């Protein structure tokens, strides 16, 4: 009898529990919102190389092949001082015969130009191309030989005065000038660059012979009867790296207002 009573009591308790579960609903489970996963950006480390670049002006070197009155050689070089600035220099020697309306002269001498270039081109990754603007200060020492000359005839009725052969040589002449330089250098393959530059010159000092003007100045080029001149070179250079610097990418700051959005 006792066992039967206990079994009935257990059944009654089970029924009551089922009723209570039906009456009282289960507590809702907390809703958890998943935050979007942060995307990991792959940082690309850029490396800038610093060193010395040296080469030759192909224009002056090859000009003698088609101009019998010219011989010249120019060596060019630059050193990367900062990310954008380069120290630059050119040194050369020229031998040029100039045939003017009244004069025929031969100029021989050497020159040196020093200054800087600013690279305005923003390279990608390991590119090392240059689009630059810069300045130079040039000095030249040279001699002038007066080969022939003509005396101006104010009365052409008697005909032109024949050409007079001179051969007088004037040594110890000097000149200095300022150049504005715009140029391009492109890396064609491993450490080898091709480039060209345009130059606008203005004389600062100019020591001339007593009886005629300097028609041509080594490094400055033709004077065009004034203080201004123009120049051009076409170069091939080789880069000698000394060391490298890693470029730290700029961090983009996100404002709090943008984060709320």
- Joined together, the tokens standing for residue 105 give 């002269």
Rounded to a whole number, what is the distance in angstroms from the first to the last CA of the chain?
A: 74
* pLDDT tens sequence across 66-80: 999 999 999 999 999
Is residue 140 helix, strand or coil? strand
Model pLDDT, residue 175:
97
**pLDDT higher than threshold 60 for residue 84:** yes
Q: How far is Cα 51 from Cα 86, in angstroms, rounded to an integer?
A: 10
227 against 110, higher pLDDT: 110
Q: Which residues pair with 168 in a beta bridge?
A: 146
pLDDT band at 161 (very low <50, low <70, confident <90, very high): low
Which residue shows structure tokens 């001082």? 81
**pLDDT higher than threshold 60 for residue 96:** yes
**pLDDT higher than threshold 60 for residue 42:** no
pTM of the predicted structure, to 2 decimals = 0.75
């Amino acid at each position: 009898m006792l066992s039967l009573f206990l079994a009935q009591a257990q059944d009654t308790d089970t029924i009551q529990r089922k009723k209570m579960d039906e009456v009282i609903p289960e507590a809702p489970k907390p809703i958890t919102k998943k935050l979007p996963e942060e995307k990991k950006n792959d940082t690309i480390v850029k490396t800038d190389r610093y060193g010395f670049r040296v080469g030759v002006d192909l224009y002056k070197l090859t000009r003698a092949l088609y101009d019998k009155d010219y011989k010249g050689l120019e060596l060019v070089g630059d050193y990367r001082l900062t990310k954008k600035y380069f120290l630059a220099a050119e040194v050369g020697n020229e031998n040029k015969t100039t045939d003017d309306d009244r004069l025929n002269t031969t100029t021989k001498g050497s020159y040196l130009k020093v200054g800087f270039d600013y690279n305005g081109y923003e390279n990608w990754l390991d590119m090392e191309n240059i689009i630059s603007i810069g300045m130079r200060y040039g000095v030249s020492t040279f001699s002038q030989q007066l080969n022939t000359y003509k005396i101006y005839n104010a009365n052409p009725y008697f005909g032109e005065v024949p050409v007079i052969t001179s051969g007088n040589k004037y040594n110890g002449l000097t000149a200095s000038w300022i150049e504005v330089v715009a140029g391009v250098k492109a890396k064609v393959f491993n450490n080898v660059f091709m480039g060209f530059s345009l130059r606008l010159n203005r004389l600062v000092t100019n020591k001339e012979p007593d009886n005629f003007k300097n028609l041509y100045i080594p490094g400055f080029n033709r004077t065009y009867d004034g203080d201004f001149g123009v120049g051009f070179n076409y170069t091939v250079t080789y880069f000698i790296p000394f060391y490298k610097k890693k470029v730290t990418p700029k961090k983009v700051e996100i404002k709090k207002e943008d984060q709320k959005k």
